[in-house]
Amino acid sequence: MIYHIFTYLRKIFDIPGSGMLNFISFRAALAMIFSLTVALFAGKRIIRMLQRRQIGDEIRDLGIEGQMNKKGTPTMGGIIILLSILIPVLLFARLDNVYLLLMITATVWLGMIGFIDDYIKVFRKNKKGLSGKSKIIGQVGLGIIVGCTLFLNDRVVVREKVEPHTPDAQLTTIGDQKIWSKESKSTITTIPFFKDNEFNYDMLMPGEGKTKEMGGWIIFVLATIIIITAVSNGANLTDGIDGLLTGISIVIGTTLGIFAYLSGNIIYADYLNIMYIPSTGELVVFMAAFIGALIGFLWYNSFPAQVFMGDTGSLALGGIIAVFAIIIRKELLIPVLCGIFFVESLSVIVQVSYFKYTKKRYGTGKRIFKMTPLHHHYQKAGNSGIDAHIQRPFQPLPESKITIRFWIIAILLAVITVVTLKIR
C-alpha cells in the first residue's frame, strides 16, 4: 500500500528518499522490523485479552512431567502471527504481484481453518475440534486454488535458456554475457542430484504436444494439493513443545527467502545456474514479515510459553511454507528442508499402523515409540533415550533441550538443502 502510494506521489511531487521503496531489500527490512514490532507490542495485549476471556488450552495428561503445569495457558496465539505477517505485507509489498496475492490467500485461508478448529475446542468445549475431513477439504481447496492460479495466470512464467533459433527467444545481456532465453508457462521445477537440477512434471506423461503439456499441469496441481496438505498437517503435529515449531519455521522461512531472492534476480540466478522466475523477488518482503512475526512470537512462546499458537498458527505456518516453496519451484526439496515435519508425521503413521496391525494379529496393540509425535517420545524416554551415557538414573529431558536440538537439526537440514542445488 505504501509502495503504491509513494509511486503515485512521485509522479506529482519529488519526495526525497522515496526511491528507496523501489528496492526489495529496503522494503523487506521495513517489513521485518514492523512485523517484529507488531508481534512484540500487539502480542502482549492479545495475550492479556485471551487471558481475560479465559481462552486457555485444554491440556491432556500425557504422563509427562510438567505437562499439566501448562493448563490454562492461552491458546489461539496464532492470531498474533497472522496479524504480524499481514499488516506489514499490506503496507510494504506490491499488491499487484500474483505470487504475493497467493501467499496472502494461503495465510488467511488456513488461518481461518485453524481459527475455526480452535474456536470449536475452546468455546464449544469440543476437544476434537474441526473434523479431520473438514480440514482436509479446506487444505485440498487451497491446493486447487494455488495450482490452478499458477496454471491459468499469464503472469506466472519461468525464463529458460534456449537456442537462438527458438521461436520467441530473446537476447538478454547479463553483465558481459549475452544469452538467449524465453519466458514460458512451464511445469518445470527444481530437483536435487539431476544434471541440470531441473525436472518437468510432463515427463511423467506419455505422448507429445498439448496432451503431454496438459497432463503435466494436472500432475502439478495434484502435487500441489498433496504438498500443501502434508506440510500443513506436519507443522500441526510438530507444534507440541514450547517454541519448537516457531524456531523450526524461522529456519525454513529464512532458507526459502534466500531461494526467492536468488530465483527472482536474473543476475544471481544465472551466476548460480538456477531457475530464474520473474517477479518472485517480491516474495522476499512477505518472507521477511514471516520471519519477523515468528521471532516476535517466540518472545512469548519460548519455554515456559506464555501463549500457544494453536491450530490458528500451526496450520497457517505449514501452508505458508508449502505454497511459498511451490511458487519458487522448490517443492521437491521439502522432504529435506522440512525433514522434521516429515519425521514427526511419519512417527504418527508408523505408530498407529503398527498398533492396529499387532492388535489385529495378537489381540493386543503394541507401540514402537513411547508416544507420538516424535518429540513426545523423547520427553517420555528422558535421558535414557539419547543421553543415557551422561546422566543416570532416569531423568526427563527438559523441553528446552529437546527444542534446541530439533532447531539444530533444522539448521543442518537447511544447509543440506542449499548444498543439494550444486550436487549434480
**Per-residue confidence of the chain (424 residues) as pLDDT tens digits?**
676 665 666 666 666 656 677 789 999 999 999 999 999 999 999 999 888 876 665 555 555 655 656 777 888 999 999 999 999 999 999 999 999 999 999 999 999 999 999 999 888 888 888 998 999 999 999 999 999 999 999 899 888 766 666 666 676 666 666 676 677 888 989 887 776 778 889 888 887 878 888 999 999 999 999 999 999 999 999 998 999 999 999 999 999 999 999 999 888 887 887 888 998 999 999 999 999 999 999 999 998 899 999 999 999 999 999 999 999 999 999 999 999 999 999 999 999 999 999 998 888 889 999 898 999 888 887 766 555 555 556 677 788 999 999 999 999 999 999 988 777 6
Is 310:116 a contact under the CB 8 Å cutoff? no
Is 403:376 a contact under the CB 8 Å cutoff? no
Q: How many Cβ atoms are within 10 Å of 399's Cβ, its own excluded?
A: 24
**Grid coordinates of 395:** 531423568
Q: What is the pLDDT of residue 98?
A: 95
Q: Is the dihedral of CA 16, 17, 23, 24 positive or negative?
A: negative
User: What angle is formed at CA 35 by the lines to CA 92 and CA 412, rounded to 5 degrees?
Assistant: 110
Detail the DSSP E strand segments found in 142-202: 158-161, 170-174, 177-184, 188-190, 198-200
**What does the pLDDT look like over 315-343, one tens digit per residue?**
999 999 999 999 999 999 999 999 999 99
Q: How far apart are CA 249 and CA 318, in angstroms?
A: 8
Q: How many Cβ atoms are within 10 Å of 237's Cβ, its own excluded?
A: 21
Is 74:56 a contact under the CB 8 Å cutoff? yes
Q: How far apart are CA 199 and CA 69, in angstroms?
A: 50
**Grid coordinates of 384:** 535414557
Is 84:316 a contact under the CB 8 Å cutoff? no
Q: Is the dihedral of CA 222, 223, 224, 229 positive or negative?
A: positive
Q: How far apart are CA 181 and CA 179, in angstroms?
A: 6
Rounded CA Rg of the chain? 23
Strand partners for 172: 179
Q: How far apart are CA 248 and CA 18, in angstroms?
A: 36
